[in-house]
Chains A and B, each alone.
Chain A
Amino acid sequence: MRELVRTLTPETPALAPDARAQVLEDVARFVQHEIAAMPSFLRAPYRVGLVAFDWLAALRFGRRFVALDGARRARWVGLWAEGRFAPLRDFVKPLRVCTLLQHFDHPVVRRALAAPRAG
Chain B
Amino acid sequence: MERLSAEILVIGSGAGGAMTAAVLAERGRDVVVLEEGPDLDTSLLDSHSPEAFRTLYRHGGMTPILGPRSIGFVEGRCLGGSTEINSGFWQRLPPDSYYRWAVDALVDELTPATMEPLFERVERLLSVSPWSGGPPPRSSDVLRRGAEELGWRCVEVPRCQKTGASASPFAPGAKQSMQRTLLPSARAHGARVVPDCRVTQLVPARGRVTHVLAVRRDGATERRFRIDAEHVFVCGGAIQTPALLRRSGIRRNVGDNLCIHPMLKAAAIFDEAMEATDNALPLYQVKEFSPNVTLGGSVFTPGFLAVSLAADWARHAPVMADWPRMALYYAAVRGMKRGRVRALPWLRDGVLVRYPLSLADRKNLTLGLARLCRVLFAGGARAVVPAVRGAPVLRSFAEAEAWLAAPLPAADMDLSTVHVFSTCPMGENPDLCATDSFGRVAGFENLRVGDASLIPDSPGVNPQATTMALALRNAEQFLAGGGAGRAASPGPRGVAVVGAGS
Q: Which residues of A contact B (CB under 8 A)?
A: 10, 12, 30, 33-34, 37-42, 78, 81-82, 86, 89-90, 93-94, 96-98, 100-106, 109-110, 113-114, 117
Contacts and interface: CB of A to CB of B under 8 A. Distances in A.
B288 to A, nearest CB: 31
A2 B49 CA distance: 21
Contacts of B53: 34, 101
Interface string B42-67: 00000001100110000111111000
8 contacts: A12-B321, A34-B54, A40-B347, A40-B348, A78-B314, A81-B314, A97-B310, A105-B49
B442 interface: no
Given A12-B320, A113-B302, A114-B277, A42 B64 contact: yes
B349 interface: yes
Interface of B: 49-50, 53-54, 59-64, 70, 273, 277, 301-307, 309-310, 313-314, 317, 320-321, 323-324, 344, 347-352, 389, 411
A37 B389 CA distance: 26
B303 A41 contact: no
B313 A104 contact: no
A95 B230 CA distance: 46
Contacts of B351: 39
Contacts of A81: 313-314
Nearest to B305: A104
Contact of B59 (A38, A86, A117): A38
* Shortest Cβ-Cβ A-B pairs, 4 listed: A105-B303, A37-B60, A100-B306, A104-B302
Contact of A41 (B61, B310, B320, B344): B344
Nearest to B317: A10
Contacts of B304: 101, 105
Contacts of A82: 314
Given A100-B310, A102-B50, A105-B49, A41 B277 contact: no
Nearest to B59: A37
Nearest to A37: B60
Nearest to B276: A113
Nearest to A105: B303
B307 A100 contact: yes
Contact of B306 (A30, A94, A103): A103
Contact of B349 (A12, A40, A102, A106): A40
A39 B59 contact: yes
Interface of A is mostly: helix
A94 B314 CA distance: 15
A46 to B, nearest CB: 10
B302 A30 contact: no
B271 to A, nearest CB: 15
Q: Which of B301, B304, B349 has the most CB of A within 10 A?
A: B349
A33 to B, nearest CB: 6
Given A41-B350, A100-B303, A101-B304, A90 B323 contact: no
Given A81-B313, A105-B50, 15 more contacts: A30-B50, A34-B61, A37-B59, A38-B60, A39-B59, A39-B351, A40-B349, A41-B347, A41-B350, A82-B314, A103-B306, A104-B301, A104-B302, A105-B302, A113-B302
Contacts of A113: 277, 302, 323
Contacts of A38: 59-60, 62
A60 to B, nearest CB: 19
Nearest to B302: A104
Contacts of A12: 320-321
Most interface-central of A42, A106, A109, A110 (chain B CB within 10 A) = A42
Given A37-B59, A39-B351, A101 B303 contact: yes
B305 A39 contact: no
Nearest to B321: A12
Nearest to B54: A33
Contact of B302 (A86, A93, A110): A110
A103 B323 CA distance: 14
Contact of B303 (A42, A90, A104): A104
Nearest to B311: A93
A90 B411 CA distance: 10
B314 A103 contact: no
Given A39-B349, A81-B313, A94-B62, A102 B411 contact: no
A33 B54 CA distance: 7
Nearest to A29: B54
A96 B50 CA distance: 14
Of B62, B307, B350, the most chain A CB neighbours within 10 A belong to B62
Nearest to A82: B314
A23 B302 CA distance: 15
B314 A97 contact: no
B85 to A, nearest CB: 14
Contacts of A102: 50, 303
B350 A101 contact: no
A45 B289 CA distance: 41
A65 B197 CA distance: 41
Given A100-B310, A117-B324, A37 B305 contact: no
Contacts of B314: 78, 81-82
A28 B226 CA distance: 40
A12 B317 CA distance: 10
Nearest to B301: A105
Nearest to B315: A82
A89 to B, nearest CB: 8
A34 B250 CA distance: 32
Contacts of B63: 39
Nearest to A46: B62
Contacts of A97: 307, 310
